[in-house]
Chains A and B, each alone.
Chain A
C-alpha cells in the first residue's frame, strides 16, 4: 500500500507532519528517508525556538531547540563547525551566525538539524559589530530546494573609526556590494547600541532597535536607500524592548517596564504605535516575579512571540490559539493566547540568543553554494 505513494505525494503527506514525526518516518524505510531528505514542502507547523549561548559556555558547543507541539527541548551538537558561533538571525529554515573568535564580522549559514553549514564570503571591508539584517525572498516556486535571501550590513567599527556605509549580500550574484553611505550618527548607534534583532517589514524597510536610552528604531528603506528614525513608544520608560514582525507584515515592538508588565505595539502607516496585546497580570507576576536582576529578552515573528531570560528559566509564549480552542470562540475571530513554558531543565542559567524558525530535515533547502 505505502509503495503506491509517489515521492510528490509522500512529500505532501510529510508537509502535514511535525519534525519529530518526520524524523521517525525517515527511519521506516529508505524510500521515506530519501523523500524527506530531498523534498522541502512549505511548512504548516508552528515555528520552533532555537537558541545558542550568547557567550562562551562550558561543555561542547550546542544549540537548543524547543518543540512547541510536544513542549519538549532538544539539544543539537554544533561540533560540526571548528569554532564557537553566535546567532545573528534566522534565514528561512537555517540560522545566520557569526564566528565568535573573530572581531571582524565573519558570517556562516547553518542548519543545525541537517548539520549543514557554509561560510559566506568576506565583506567588502572589515567591520566590527555592525548591524545585520536579513531579507528572505521565500522558497523558489519552480524547485523544491533553496530559498534566496539578502544580508544587509550597516555601520560597524574599523580601526578607531565608525564605518558609515551599508553593504548587501545577495544569494543570486553571490557576493557583497557596497550600497552607499549612511548618516554617521546612525552608524555609531547601530554599532554600539543594537542587540541586532532586525525586522524586514512589508513597507520594504529594514528596522533595527537601538537601546541607548531612550529606545529608538532605525529604519533603512531598501528601495529608496534612505534612513529614518522612529521613536519607540514610552521610549524613556522601557526597560527592555525588541522588534518583531506582526502577522500583517507591519513592524511590531514588544517592551515593558517595571515588574510584571509587557505590551505589544504595532506601527501604523502614520508612524503611530498602537497597542495590540499585553501580558496578562497573573502570568506576568509568575514570569518576572522570581528573578528581577536578569534582563528580559524577546524574539518573535508572525506566528509567535517568546519572552525569556536564560536557558534554564520559564518562558512566556504568545501564540495563535490551537484550532480546538478557536472553535469554542466566535467563528472567524483569530485569537492569540499567552502561556508559560518550562526552560531547558538541568542546564545552568546561561544567557542565550534565540530565533524562531521552521525546522527542516531536508537537505535540499540549504543553498548549494554561497
Chain B
C-alpha cells in the first residue's frame, strides 16, 4: 500500500495524497525526505479549491509517467498535452491562484503551463486593454520613454 501524506489547505480541509504524487512538488519532496511530513503538512497560502486542482495535475502526471514509454524515449505524450490544455481551460483568476500555488510548491511543469497561459492572455494586448484589466488607477501608470511606447502629452 502506497504511503499517503495528509495535506491541510488554508481553509482547513484535509486531503490524503500518495507520496509519489506529493513528490511532484520539489518543496514537498524535501520535506518528505527530511522526515518532516509525518504529522501532515499545512499549506497556509493555498485554498482547498486550488489544492484540489494541483493534486489532480500531479496525479495525472505521475500516472502518465509510470505508464508511458514515449516520454522515456524523449518523445512527446500527445494525450497528456491535450489533457494539460483542458486542465488550464479555466478562469484567469483561478489560473493566477494555481500559478501562485505551483510557484510556492515548486512544481515546474505546472508553473510553466499556467504562466504560459497567463502570458498568452497578455500577449498582443494594447496597453489600454491591459490598464482596463488592471485594478490600479490611471495616475499610477508611468509615462513611457523607450522606443516602443507612446508619449501621452497632457495626461498624468
Chain A residues within CB distance 8 Å of chain B:
1-6, 8-9, 12-21, 23-33, 74-77, 113-115, 331-332, 361
When the two chains form their complex, are residues A6 and B96 in contact, meaning their CB atoms are under 8 A apart? Answer: no
Chain B residues within CB distance 8 Å of chain A:
74-76, 92-93, 96-97, 99-100, 103, 111, 115-116, 118-120, 122-127, 130-131, 133-136, 140-142, 144, 146-149
Contacts of A19 in B (CB 8 A): 148
- With contacts A1-B92, A17-B122, A331-B75 taken as known, whether A74 is within 8 angstroms of B148 at the C-beta atoms is yes
Contacts of B130 in A (CB 8 A): 24-25, 27-29, 32
A-B pairs with lowest CB-CB distance, top 4:
A16-B119, A23-B148, A28-B130, A27-B127
In angstroms, how far is the closest chain B Cβ from the Cβ of A178?
40
| Alpha-carbon separation in the docked complex, A114 to B146 (Å) | 7
| Alpha-carbon separation in the docked complex, A235 to B105 (Å) | 57
6 contacts between A and B (CB under 8 A): A1-B93, A4-B97, A5-B118, A28-B134, A30-B142, A331-B75
Contacts of B126 in A (CB 8 A): 24
The interface centre, meaning the residue of B119, B125, B136 with most chain A CB atoms within 10 A of its CB, is: B119
| Alpha-carbon separation in the docked complex, A75 to B127 (Å) | 20
| Least CB separation from B111: chain A residue | A12
When the two chains form their complex, are residues A27 and B97 in contact, meaning their CB atoms are under 8 A apart? Answer: no
When the two chains form their complex, are residues B141 and A27 in contact, meaning their CB atoms are under 8 A apart? Answer: yes
When the two chains form their complex, are residues B127 and A9 in contact, meaning their CB atoms are under 8 A apart? Answer: no
| Least CB separation from B136: chain A residue | A29
Contacts of B103 in A (CB 8 A): 6, 8-9, 12
When the two chains form their complex, are residues A5 and B123 in contact, meaning their CB atoms are under 8 A apart? Answer: no
| Alpha-carbon separation in the docked complex, A113 to B144 (Å) | 13
Contacts of A16 in B (CB 8 A): 115-116, 119-120, 123
| Alpha-carbon separation in the docked complex, A361 to B75 (Å) | 35
- With contacts A1-B93, A27-B141, A27-B144 taken as known, whether A9 is within 8 angstroms of B99 at the C-beta atoms is yes
When the two chains form their complex, are residues B144 and A74 in contact, meaning their CB atoms are under 8 A apart? Answer: no
